[in-house]
Amino acid sequence: MELDAAILSRMQFAFTVSFHILFPSITIGLATAIAIWEGLWLKTRNPVYFQLAKFWIKPFAVTFGMGVVSGIVLSFEFGTNFSGFSEKVGPVLGPLLAYEVLTAFFLEAGFLGVMLFGWQRVSERLHFFATVIVMLGTWLSAFWILSANSWMQTPAGYELVDGRFQASDWWEVVFNPSMPHRVAHMLLAAMLTASFIIIAVSAWHVLRDKTALWAKKSLSMALWGTLVLVPLQIFVGDGHGLNVKEYQPVKLAAIEGIWPEHEQPLPLVLFAWPNMEEERNDYEVAVPHLGSLILTHSLDGGAQGLKSVPPEDRPYVPIVFFSFRVMVGIGFLMLFVSLWALWLRRKNRLYENKPFLTVARWMWPVGSIATLAGWYVTETGRQPWLVEGLVRTMEVASPLPAEKVLWSLSTFVVLYGSLLLAYLYFMRKLLRKGAPSLEALESQLNAPDLPGYAKALVKQVADKPTEGGAR
């Protein structure tokens, strides 16, 4: 079988970006949680919040490092594997990525050291300021990256000069039509990803030790958070879907399995096997009119189908179709767990119900799986276009020897697979330790030349009962 360098380059980029996206989606949520706990500690002086902030900083730092290392590779791949893309789109996307480095990465890198090592060395307010800046840095990073990605999905504010894109209105470039929906959807996904990791780790510790007060506190807070975030994500997702229907109708047709040039009214296809050769769905299970209600907010609304464009302009439908259902299915699983927790809370059995805690314990990967599935919907659904309707992916791939691309792809698979195993091994060790006990915090803070707040904390810790705080 003859190898195709362009296909291999696409596979390599898909693999490396899938690996990378796992880590920012965790750090955005964890940075926010740590900032909330540290702020609550300053406000209430409850040492449990201090325990939680101290506990999750190390997993955050390890995950942040993995995200930085895996993200650098992506920028090199633009030049090596898709040199035509850099040449055509560089004048627009280059500045957006530079803004990400200047306004987000520098903020994170500059204050991360204070956040990690500043305890007992700077004042409590300065430390909290550093934590908040790191949190804002993760948000800003997501904003710029998603702005650039959204521009490729819904290009605006540009002009073509000698075959190259140039910005004619930077405001329209940055705030292109799909950017607000995509940023909101991704930030909420990141919060949910981190929330369910916190829920899983906390549930595991509660199962082991019913007196672990810090674990109960983080479990309760994260579940309250998901009770708000999951419905909000469903609402934002609905708006995002309407935006896709308006600006990327072929992607929507692949998501919903709509084949006729125009279908009205729309069924909601619960399950099917998209048959691209015969241009229809096999084994379809659908609810009449429900698709119209969801996609057009009316019972008889219609939508453009896949047959409205030539086969060469359609995405690979099965990946888009099934990835979307995985994402939505996990969303409803998250909602079920959140409502189950609410029901148990009302019965005062949240920390006693073993079936719930066992299910919650295994929820740790669901946010990452949903994020990956959503990313596949977004990126595979855009194909064959790299810039929607303007630049095809296959046009901009570098003319590389296929054997060399296969070698680099194989190297990435082995290297990233090893890195992921090492990451999971160290994270498991860190998370199994649990939060530092109040006695350990007291010991850490009993050092010469402490700032005033640390001495005050020592006194608070010493005055607190130790039951439930120690691990």
With bands split at pLDDT 50, 70 and 90, how would you rate the model's confidence at 260? very high
Higher-pLDDT residue of 180, 209? 180
Is the CB of residue 13 less than 8 Å from the CB of residue 86?
A: no
The two most distant CA atoms of the chain are separated, in Å, by: 77
> Average pLDDT of the chain?
88
C-alpha distances in Å from residue 448, one per residue of 154, 387, 395, 455: 58, 59, 64, 10
Tell me the residue ranges of DSSP E strands in 276-316.
280-287, 303-304
Question: What is the model's pLDDT at position 448?
Answer: 46
Q: What is the DSSP letter of 437?
A: P
Mean pLDDT of 402-430: 91
Higher-pLDDT residue of 215, 121? 215
pLDDT in tens, 299-326: 888 889 999 999 999 999 999 999 999 9
Question: What is the model's pLDDT at position 326?
Answer: 95
Helix then strand then coil, in percent of the chain rounded to 5, is 70, 5, 20
- The residues pairing with 263 across neighbouring beta strands, listed in sequence order, are 303
- Name the residue type at position 285: V
Higher-pLDDT residue of 105, 407? 407
Question: What is the model's pLDDT at position 451?
Answer: 53
For the chain, the straight-line distance linking the first and the last C-alpha, in angstroms and rounded, comes to 58
pLDDT in tens, 231-240: 999 999 999 9
Mean pLDDT of 426-441: 83
With bands split at pLDDT 50, 70 and 90, how would you rate the model's confidence at 433? confident
* Cα–Cα distance for residue pair 219/201, rounded to 1 Å: 8
Q: Which of 291, 282, 238, 223 is nearest to 33 (CA)?
A: 223
Question: What is the model's pLDDT at position 469?
Answer: 39
pLDDT in tens, 129-149: 999 999 999 999 999 999 999
